Amino acid sequence: MIYLDNAATTIHKPETVIEAVTEAMRHVGNSARGTHAGSLDAARIIFETRMKIASLFGCPDPTRVAFTCNITESLNIAINGLFSEGDHVITTMLEHNSVLRPLYRLEKERGIELSIVPADENGCICYDDFEKMIRPNTRAIVTTHISNLTGNMLDIARIGKIAHAHDLLYIVDAAQSAGNIPIDMAAMDIDVLCFTGHKGLYGPQGTGGLCVMPGVQIRPFKVGGTGVQTYLKKQPEDMPVRLEAGTMNAHGLAGLSAAVDFINETGVEEIHRHEMELMQLFYREVKEIDGVTVYGDFSGDRGAIVSINIRDYDSSEVSDCLMQDYEIATRPGAHCAPLMHEALGTTDQGAVRFSFSWFNTKDEVLDAIKAVRELSE
């Protein structure tokens, strides 16, 4: 199988990641719930992972990295824990439902106000819109880094600058960029960076987290056992236990730790370069094929995602054909990005998404181009 669904999850993990999880499952106990070797092993693995993640994303304090089971949980924690009645929040049409649904819920249940920066038919936004939308009660801007549908990249440093110029918080969904695009929270004016472990970081499923800049206080989402301050009726205030109730997934985090090592050894820039090369090759060829529509803006730096349609064929049928006849894994349909589909005009047809990773090869891309060419004929 040629796996080109890396924006959903990277199926090819570094061997060291698999080994780290396997090894952890043989000897790791419950972190912060004892002082024996098994428990200390878990605590050490988790703390090392916090340090590596903090360092990777430019978060100045590793204790302000909280782990979750996926980025949807991270975004729910950030959005639910920061906004209260009367707050106004600005987001964009590029967003995934993991951003939109938590915001829509707060709009309905907590009376927050929501403004959505529009995108054009190429999935591009106008950065001036953020400033135009700011109101006296605006509390934050929440955006993705890379659209999971078009691969368009937002200039998060620019948005962060706008946010901080107006004393707003800036929350970034790095689902499609963590591990393959350089991110520096401090330099880019990001207050909360949400990430997942199983995509561009090449870690196990069941891992993710959020990095929270010092001074930003997020109310706890889950509450419960922490192994510390047992007699407090509420969740302890200190990070990271403030946002981490219950037994941590030390098995998965051991894998994430090895995954960040792999990223650092390979180099984020090098990964990005390789993925861009594959993506650009695919884009250059398929855009010339008669009957193929390519979505998104390819004029600048971007993510390694190319979404297309072939004539008016149903995207699911095309994706099924690619799998059955060519053993090429893609993702069709709607991509949990309802407003992006509206902007592109693909709400009915959906789109066939090809997404590339470090482990894909040029030959695989050439096979995919050939398959698209044959299907369009």
* Residue 332 binding a copy of itself, by CB under 8 A: yes
Site for a copy of itself in 50-69 (CB under 8 A): 68-69
**Residue found by looking up tokens 């080994």 in the block:** 19
* Residue 72 binding a copy of itself, by CB under 8 A: yes
* Residue 245 binding a copy of itself, by CB under 8 A: yes
Q: How far is the CB of 288 from a copy of itself (least distance, A)?
A: 26
DSSP class of residue 65 equals E
In the numeric block, which tokens belong to residue 198?
Answer: 């199983």
* Residue 39 binding a copy of itself, by CB under 8 A: yes
How many whole angstroms separate alpha carbon 316 and alpha carbon 322?
Answer: 10
* Residue 274 binding a copy of itself, by CB under 8 A: no
- Between residues 9 and 115, which has the closer beta carbon with respect to a copy of itself? 9
If you count DSSP H runs as helices and E runs as strands, how many of each does the chain have, helices first? 11, 12
* Residue 330 binding a copy of itself, by CB under 8 A: yes
Count, residues near a copy of itself per rule CB under 8 A? 85
CA atoms within 13 A on the CB side of 223: 13
Q: Identify the residue among 250, 268, 306, 351 touching a copy of itself (CB under 8 A).
A: 250
Name which of 139, 69, 146 is nearest 106 in CA terms: 139
CB 87 within 8 A of CB 74: no
78-92 in b/e form (b: 16+ CB < 10 A) is bbbbbbeeebbbbbb
Q: How far from 111 is each of 104, 106, 217, CA to CA, in Å?
A: 10, 6, 20
Q: Identify the residue among 123, 252, 296, 303 touching a copy of itself (CB under 8 A).
A: 252
- Between residues 42 and 183, which has the closer beta carbon with respect to a copy of itself? 42
Site for a copy of itself in 6-35 (CB under 8 A): 8-9, 11, 13, 17-18, 21-22, 25-30, 33-35
Q: Identify the residue among 57, 81, 82, 102 touching a copy of itself (CB under 8 A).
A: 102
How many whole angstroms separate alpha carbon 216 and alpha carbon 328?
Answer: 44
Site for a copy of itself in 104-133 (CB under 8 A): 104-105, 108
Q: Identify the residue among 82, 303, 331, 346 touching a copy of itself (CB under 8 A).
A: 331
* Residue 335 binding a copy of itself, by CB under 8 A: yes
Site for a copy of itself in 201-230 (CB under 8 A): 204-207, 221-227, 230
The region, left, alpha or beta by phi > 0 then psi within -120 to 50, assigned to residue 311 is: left
Please calculate the CA angle 191-67-262 and round it to the nearest 5 degrees. 95
Q: How far is the CB of 127 from a copy of itself (least distance, A)?
A: 26
* Residue 93 binding a copy of itself, by CB under 8 A: no
Strands (E), the chain: 2-3, 65-68, 88-92, 113-117, 138-144, 169-173, 192-196, 208-212, 292-295, 305-310, 328-329, 352-355
Which of the stretches 278-286, 296-304, 335-343, 365-373 binds a copy of itself when contact is defined by CB under 8 A? 335-343
Site for a copy of itself in 132-191 (CB under 8 A): none
246-277 in b/e form (b: 16+ CB < 10 A) is eebbbbbbbbbbbbbbbbeeeebeebbebbbe
- Between residues 149 and 159, which has the closer beta carbon with respect to a copy of itself? 149
Which of the stretches 47-55, 177-185, 277-285, 315-323 binds a copy of itself when contact is defined by CB under 8 A? 315-323
